[in-house]
Chain A
Amino acid sequence: MTTTELAAPPLTGGAPAPAVRVRGLTKSYGTTTVLDGLDLEVRRGECFALLGPNGAGKTTTIEVLEGVRRRDAGEVSVLGEDPAVAGRAWRARIGVVSQGEGAGQALSVRETLDHFARYTSTPQPTDELLAAVGLTEKAGTRVGSLSGGQRRRLAVALGVQGRPELVFLDEPTTGMDPVARRQFWQLVRDLRASGTTVLLTTHYLDEAAELADRVGVIAGGRLVEVAPPAELGAALRREATVRWREAGAWREVRTERPAGVLRDLLAAHPHDEVPDLSVTRPDLEDVYLALVGATPGGDPR
């Protein structure tokens, strides 16, 4: 049950082995290649967001890491073990917030949690769980009568019930209203603050920016960029666009050194105003769209 027999990456200064390490992961369904040599590393204790458009391979990646889907090729290590062959002791260390139902619509929230507490040797007390996800007042309500947001909270409670070291959340807020979504984010932050490693997938940019320590952008079955949200697409962001109007027409210059362009521009108009002058840098959304290839050649819109 202790970590790793697998070839660990070279460690510097005794840093802990990463929670997730993936090299060259490939997976095809029939003739459709979904993952095409994906590399991924999630550090212990961080919240990592896999960001990408629908169909980019996020869910497949998560399912391979959870050990519920076979991979075609590649090395995968999750908490030091290969999920394809890892046993129950390993499962006890991971938690999954899944979309699937609990144990039946006819059970109450408390009955559901009490039931699943029997599957783990390290259950959190049901009352603590209820309080943590804000379902204390719904403890006696049948699962079938819960709202969508409340069901997701129950799913979180079930996902963390056994005190996992690593929690997977696959598109957790899809379909939630804005209020439920913000409440859910707070749950994830609490989880992260408790030292749990969190790996979530999302196609919402703001969600990734809000929650993640690092974001991995997935496109075409590969990880095309990994960085903290603020640094995502650093190369793309360095390029600024200087715009102004000259003789009624828009002029635009792209440059990594906008100051020089401005100096020349102002020198050319020593006494006049430069109409509609602006200097802009791509925002996160522009960077993301460029990374996933939704805009050609990294063109900011």
Chain B
Amino acid sequence: MSGRILIIDDDARLAAMVSGYLGDAGFRVTAAPTAREGEQRLKREPFDALVLDLMLPDADGLEVCRRIRQSSDVPILMLTARGDAMDRVVGLEIGADDYLPKPFEPRELLARLRAIMRRKSGASPQDMKRYGRLEIDRGGRRVLIDGEERTLTSYQFALLDALASHAGRVMSRDALMDLTRGEQLEAFDRSVDVHVSRIRAAIEDDPKKPRRIITVRGAGYVFAREQDR
């Protein structure tokens, strides 16, 4: 995928590095050090996505985001910092498509940028669920890691979806079987365990040390809300 990306960040060195990194990935990147310059460029030239820092020397990133949203529907990725006064809700309410806390992994930046650009060009955002580098496309029944599709059977997808829609809660095997009852059951007693290990093989970085679907001995499984820290 290629596209034109505008970075508005007052840290020139970081902007240069991000430009280099995204350039290597095939994007054409323009950097603007101030909100003023960024907004002017955005009016003159077409961009496919905007990376916007929350703290700018001449403006509050949230304010800039709101202003841009009034005249443009360019996908916006906000750079924040963990513990910032702003949290996800505020950022998304004012029109940002996603946010990424500093310090971030470069490949996560890439994955999220690709995701918001793809979302723009097709799938409705309600159907796309993102958990770190993992994306679940409920509409298309697809699972992606870093934007790359991973293969799951339809029952495995249903199981993953059931787990993910209860992220942060321990789900018993019985509860999971109830939630996936509509699916054709390739199932007998231990089947949930078997399928979980298949899903892990598909989506975990190290299936032996799972970080996305975690076993809680004697209780069931939990889908992690934070997976890439």
Chain A partners chain B: no
Binding site for A on B (CB under 8 A): none
Task: Point out residues on A near B: beta carbons under 8 Å.
Answer: none
